[in-house]
Structure 1
Amino acid sequence: MSINYIIYLADYSDGVLYVLAGLLVVALGVMIDRFWSLRSTILHGASIINATTAAPTLGAGELARLRDKAGNLPEAALLDMAARHVGMVSTDAMANRLDETVMLVAPRLDRRLWMLDTVVTLAPLLGLFGTIIGMFHAFNVLAQPGHAPAEVTGGVADALVATAFGIFIAMLGLTGFNALSNQVRHVLHQLDCMKMLIVNRTDGAPNLATHGAAAQPAAHGMAFVEA
């Protein structure tokens, strides 16, 4: 298939194929960007979860160390929230604060997926629209003298390319959307696991200002006030 023929098909659909090509670029861009980001989040998040699992208890110092290790991962927001409230609130209050954090972080995970969802819906409709326009051109041949009706067949075939292209983009986009949605669910599951790990390991843990500091409240007989 030559470039000239592709240009001919695009012109035959009055430019609809160009729009479909743009949708394909958008879909591929979103899929590559989100797959790379979410895959990295899952892999690095698993290492943070493993490090948290290995800790028998979590004080403020250990939480701060894990938060710094997490960097820009969603788990860092949970660890930061826990580090600022450990030993100062009850277990239920800590769990509620971590739930709030998960709700604030969650919208960042599926950003731009709405674009992929839109492409999946819009591409077949645009393809059908391009085919209808191509049909106009194909059947217009019959109104012109000196043209054989057999030429209509070739015109219809050229018009159907737009529909085929639109369906191909929709299938590609749907596959990518489902794969990325599954990755988002995986990250949310990791956040739920991190929340449970933090709650279980900070229950009654002292609020240490720095990693490795002595538990001064225990030494002086001070008790923490629970919220």
Structure 2
Amino acid sequence: MENPLMTTAYLLHLATESGGILYIMAFLLTVALGVIIERSWFLGRLIRKGDMLLGELSRLRHLDPSAIRELKDRAVDDPHGEILAVPLDFPEISDPHRLSELLEEAILAQAPHIDRRMWMLDTIVTLAPLLGLLGTIIGMFNSFEVLGKPGSAPTEITSGIAEALVATACGLFIAIVGLVFFNGLNNAVRLVIHQLDRIKVTLVNRMDAPRHAVQAHASVASAPLHGLTTAAAKG
């Protein structure tokens, strides 16, 4: 059975041969995994909560402040809750266009919180292969130094080249894993933004419908009176 100490010593040897690049790549992998885990949990929770809120909002027939406040309380400190707070904070707004602008302003304010730390994962995906290539080049320099030593065996050169390629392999591995999760998390961010846009449109529509209903009712109610007035004028 392989001795764990020998394995640790060999890994330390590889890191030294790469000029310390493998230490940096181990740090980048740790950061990438931390961002992936935290963002996956955060965005997954937002998506589930957004689906629940949209289902509740779609059952409303008008902009009911008490119902909106109840939904907002379920999404405290979340982007969805900040959007639902807009019609409650501005109850005097009666223009749907003005309400839509206020909701759009709230969405723009929440966007940086939704894709927070995504730039770190994007940077690691780009940086890891470059660092791996740099580590390989440094390892190749160390390997070719053997040629200047008298009596050097060819196996020393080939083994050194093989060890130098470990840095490139590690960089590609980090980049591949990071890219897969980066694209998936970007898709989750777009889905959350889409949910916020749907909440905005739903709130505006629920506000606009009652006003048109009142206007239509007023028009119907005034029609007989207008007819009587016209008949009286003709008489």
TM-score by length of 2: 0.84
Quote the offset at 1:30 in angstroms.
0.3
Structure 2 partner of 1:141: 146
Would you say how many aligned residue pairs link Structure 1 and Structure 2?
206
1:172 to 177, 180, 188: 177
- 1:46 aligned to which of 51, 56, 79: 51
2: CA distance, partners of 1:84 / 1:59: 14
In structure 2, distance between residues paired with 1:89 and 1:56:
17
2:29 maps to which of 5, 24, 27: 24
Structure 2 partner of 1:118: 123
Q: Which consecutive segments of 4 or more residues in structure 1 shift more than 4 A?
A: none
Q: Give 1:109's aligned amino acid.
A: I
Question: Given that residues 87 and 205 in structure 1 are in contact (C-alpha distance below 8 angstroms), is that contact kept between their aligned partners in structure 2?
Answer: no
Percent pairwise identity:
46
Which residue identity lines up with residue 11 of structure 2 in the other structure?
I
Question: Partner letter of residue 155 of structure 1?
Answer: G
For residues 87-144 of structure 1, give each alpha carbon's deviation from its aligned partner in whole angstroms, at most 9, with x where no partner exists: 5330110111111111111111101000001101110010000000000110000111
The aligned runs of 1:45-124 (5 Å cut-off) are 45-124=50-129
Conservation of the 8 A alpha-carbon contact between 1:130 and 1:162? yes
Conservation of the 8 A alpha-carbon contact between 1:59 and 1:83: no
Residue 195 (1) aligns with residue 209 (2): no
The TM-score normalised by the length of structure 1 is 0.87
Maintained 8 Å contact 1:64/1:83: yes
Amino acid at match of 2:96: T
Counterpart CA distance in 2 for 1:205 and 1:62 is 16
C-alpha RMSD over aligned residues: 1.5
Q: Is the 8 A contact 1:127 1:163 kept in 2?
A: yes
Cα distance in structure 1, aligned partners of 2:207 and 2:69: 13
Ranges in structure 2 where 5+ consecutive residues have no aligned partner: 212-235
Structure 1 or 2: more helix by fraction: 2
Runs of 5+ consecutive residues of structure 1 not aligned to the other structure = 207-227
Report the Cα offset of residue 205 of structure 1.
5.4
For residues 184-223 of structure 1, the aligned pairs below 5 Å read 184-203=189-208
Q: SS at the partner of 2:154?
A: coil
The letter for the 1-side match of 2:119 is W
Distance in 1, Cα, partners of 2:101 & 2:83: 11
Residues of 2 paired with 1:67 and 1:115: CA distance?
A: 31
